[in-house]
Structure 1
Amino acid sequence: MGAKELITNPLNEQQVMMLRLLKKPLPEADFAQIRQLVVKLLAQQMDEAIEEWENEHNITADSYDQLSKGHYRSLVN
């Protein structure tokens, strides 16, 4: 599978800019550091999205505690 087959939608401006920045191959250690930073950023964004969802649905630590004590086959109301 070629790279063209993986990209079904055109790239947005930020994606194009990142590709231009990374046009020249990086040393492996630098690339690993960039990957770690991206993963850290995405994890932070996911935490924020989950926290927002919990707040919107009034989900608390007690809610998770109750779910963890219930049987996985039982109906949750």
Structure 2
Amino acid sequence: MKAKELVSDSLNDQQVMMLRLLKKPLPEADFIQIRRLAVKLLSKQLDETVQEWEDNNNITETSYEELSKEHFRRKSANS
């Protein structure tokens, strides 16, 4: 399979556009900055997703505190 086929079949339009933008190697400092920004964006999206899930399922700080005090180990068959 040719690289061009792999790119067009495996990646969406945004991913292909990003690859085209980054076709020329960047100085290491610039690459690190872009990578940090990408991680920051993904972290924000994850926080929003978790917050939405907590809101939809009525999960509160108290819920986490209660779960942290529970014992999750199963008893062995010999007990």
Q: After TM superposition, is the score higher than 0.5?
A: yes
Structure 1 moving runs of 4+ over 4 Å: none
Unaligned runs of 5+ in 1: none
TM-score relative to the length of structure 1:
0.81
1:26 alignment partner, SS class:
coil
1-side partners of 2:10 and 2:32: how far apart?
Answer: 26
Matched, 1:51 2:55: no
Q: How far does residue 68 in structure 1 lie from its aligned partner after superposition? A: 0.5
Letter in 2 for 1:31: F
Matched, 1:27 2:38: no
CA RMSD in angstroms, aligned pairs only: 1.7
Q: How far does residue 24 in structure 1 lie from its aligned partner after superposition? A: 0.3
Matched, 1:38 2:38: yes
Letter in 1 for 2:69: K
Unaligned runs of 5+ in 2: 75-79
Q: May I ask how many residue pairs the two structures share in their alignment?
A: 69
Query: If you compute each CA radius of gyration, which structure gives the higher value, 1 or 2?
Result: 2
Which residue in 2 is equivalent to 1:64?
A: 64
Give the share of equivalent positions with the same residue, in percent: 64
**Greater RCO structure (CA 8 Å; 6+ sep):** 2
